[in-house]
Amino acid sequence: MSGPMRVIVMGQQAFGKDVLAKILDAGVDEVVAVYCEPDRIGRIDPIKEFALEQGFPVHQPAQFEDRETLETLAGHRADLMVMAFVNVFVPEAARDTPRLGSICFHPSLLPLHRGPSAVNWPIITGATKSGFSWFYPTDGLDEGDSLLQWECGIDPDDTVIDLYFRKIYPSAVDSVLTVCDLFRSGSPPRIVPDESQATYERRCTRKHARIDWNKPVKQVYDLIRGTNPSPGAWTTLNGDEVQIFDCARVPGDGVSSKVVDVSQDGVTVQLIGGRIAVKRVRPSGGGKLPAAEWAESIGLRAGDSLGT
């Protein structure tokens, strides 16, 4: 089609809001409705707040199985539904309601890292590249052909903040205009996934983020940066828990799990094949603070062992 499309934007949080704003700023297509997840206690979703300010109808169904919800969706007479950061399952009957169907965002190079923690796991597993995909969703978990993909490198010291917020996020928001252009062209491409390369990972949670200081230094460092800032890698000292955030990998030899240096720069811990200089932590029940301040408050000394 050569003219503007009627678009439904479905999304959550800042990414959904910024995708909506990008489409509006371009002024090419007409947004006819906004969908987001049901309200959570004590806060309003940024995309909902922005959409209401702009005067768009906002819908927040908990599921898309009932006839009334599907009829409301169909009543918008949309050409395309753009699904940006969607937590609610959207079945085929809803996805296919727009004339051209639906397209969904995922922050990995599909079919790699299907699942809810697609930014964490590439870093944790030591991957050197990632990116994002816009794909044609099916009832499977992040399955379906891709419309387009964008690739970026994962640098050796990248955290989740670096990979997602500084690399993937801005390019992904900009790319929604390309997504709309491809559908408007009348012949959007389909990239068929190589299922032999597919990986599925569960949500990265606290139980995955416990540090084993007897592992090789790279493995531990990748875990720390792949869970920074969330869910946050953690360890214990004399039974007290502490989360580990900003760190640096440094050379050195010695006995694994031992603290080898405490200074104003932080706490340095020995592992197999090298050391990790811990710079920022969060003790249980407290806020984030410099590792040096934490070490002084508990009397941490060289020779102490973490993970105890």
CATH code of the domain in which 68 resides: 3.40.50.170
Q: Is residue 6's pLDDT more than 80?
A: yes
End-to-end CA distance of the chain: 64
Q: What is the pLDDT of residues 224-242, one digit of tens each?
A: 999 999 999 999 999 999 9
Read off the pLDDT of each residue in 267-285 and give the average, rounded to a whole number. 97
Which tokens belong to 91? 């079945």
Residue at 107 is within a domain: yes
Report the pLDDT value the prediction gives residue 92, as an integer from 0 to 100: 96
- Number of Cβ within 10 Å of residue 240's Cβ equals 12
- Percent of the chain's residues with pLDDT above 70: 99
Report the pLDDT value the prediction gives residue 146, as an integer from 0 to 100: 98
Provide the residue range defining the domain that includes 264: 206-298
Report the pLDDT value the prediction gives residue 278, as an integer from 0 to 100: 98
Q: SS3 helix, strand, coil % of the chain, rounded to 5? A: 30, 30, 45
Report the pLDDT value the prediction gives residue 29, as an integer from 0 to 100: 97
Give 27's contacts (C-beta < 8 A, 6+ positions apart): none
Residue at 303 is within a domain: no
191 and 211 in one domain? no
Last residue of a domain, one of 152, 172, 197: 197
Return left, alpha or beta for 299; rule: phi > 0 is left, psi -120 to 50 is alpha, else beta: left
- Number of Cβ within 10 Å of residue 130's Cβ equals 25
Strands 102-106 and 30-35: unpaired
Cα(60)–Cα(58) distance, rounded to whole angstroms? 7
Read off the pLDDT of each residue in 246-258 and give the average, rounded to a whole number. 93
93 and 53 in one domain? yes
Lowest-confidence segment of 86-90, 131-135, 225-229, 263-267 by average pLDDT: 86-90
Last residue of a domain, one of 139, 173, 197: 197
Cα(191)–Cα(131) distance, rounded to whole angstroms? 15
Which tokens belong to 286? 């407290």
135 and 222 in one domain? no
Residue at 304 is within a domain: no
87 and 63 in one domain? yes
pTM of the complete model: 0.94
89 and 32 in one domain? yes
Residue at 1 is within a domain: no
**Res. 2 pLDDT band, cuts 50 70 90:** low
Report the pLDDT value the prediction gives residue 3, as an integer from 0 to 100: 76
230 and 145 in one domain? no
CATH number at residue 228: 3.10.25.10
Long-range contacts of 232-239 (CB under 8 A, 24+ apart): 232/206, 232/282, 233/209, 234/206, 234/209, 234/210, 235/210, 235/211, 235/306, 235/307, 236/306, 236/307, 236/308, 237/298, 237/300, 237/304, 237/306, 237/308, 238/308, 239/308
232 and 128 in one domain? no
167 and 225 in one domain? no
Report the pLDDT value the prediction gives residue 1, as an integer from 0 to 100: 58
Count of structural domains within the chain? 2
Read off the pLDDT of each residue in 247-274 and give the average, rounded to a whole number. 95
85 and 110 in one domain? yes
Last residue of a domain, one of 141, 170, 197: 197
